Amino acid sequence: MSQDIYPQLKEIIKPYLPEDVNPDAISHESHLVTDLNINSTHLVDIVLDVEDAFDITIEDDELDKMETVKASIALIEQKLAAR
């Protein structure tokens, strides 16, 4: 499952990268803010894009489960399984 989610998530994250961060820098371990330098206000946009792409709803108190790529994939998998 996570093999399918990862490339999709990577595409979602890409537009929010600062201009000086190469998309190749995205890995499973990446922390969106501290490693990829994504402006933290954009996390809400990433959440909305993830919701649209996977047809799931992420609650406000789950935002801290999306700090890294790996944690985000886990959360998406959990949401998809519970659907």
Partner 1 sequence: MSKQRVVITGLGVCAPNGVGVPAFKEALETGKSGIRFYSELEKLKFSCQIGGMPLISEAVKTKYFTPLQLRNFNSAGILYGVVAGVEAWQDAQLPTDEEQCDFDSGTVFGVGSLGVDKYRESIYKIDEGNTRRLGSTSVQQTMSSGVSAYLGGMLGLGNLVTTNSSACTTGTEAILMAYERIKAGKAKRMLAGSTSDGGPYVWGGFDALRILPSKYNDKPTQASRPLAGDAAGFVPGCGAGALVLESLESAQQRGAKIYAEILGGSSNSGGQRNEGSMTAPNPIAVKRCIEDAVVDAQISTAQIEVINGHLTATSKDGLEIKNWSEALKRSGVDFPYINSLKGMTGHCLAASGSIECVASVLELKHQFLFPNINLHTVHDEVLEHISESKIPRVKTALKFNYLAKASFGFGDVNCCLIFKTF
How far lies 24's CA from each of 1, 11, 37, in Å?
22, 11, 14
User: Applying CB under 8 A, which of residues 2, 4, 11, 15 lies at the interface with partner 1?
Assistant: 15
The helix-helix angle for 69-82 and 43-54 (nearest 10°) equals 40
Tokens matching residue 2: 């996570």
Note whether 70 binds partner 1 by CB under 8 A: no
Binding mask 17-56 for partner 1 (x = CB under 8 A): x-x---------------------xx-xx--x--------
Please identify, using beta-carbon distances, which residue of 1 and 48 lies nearer to partner 1: 48
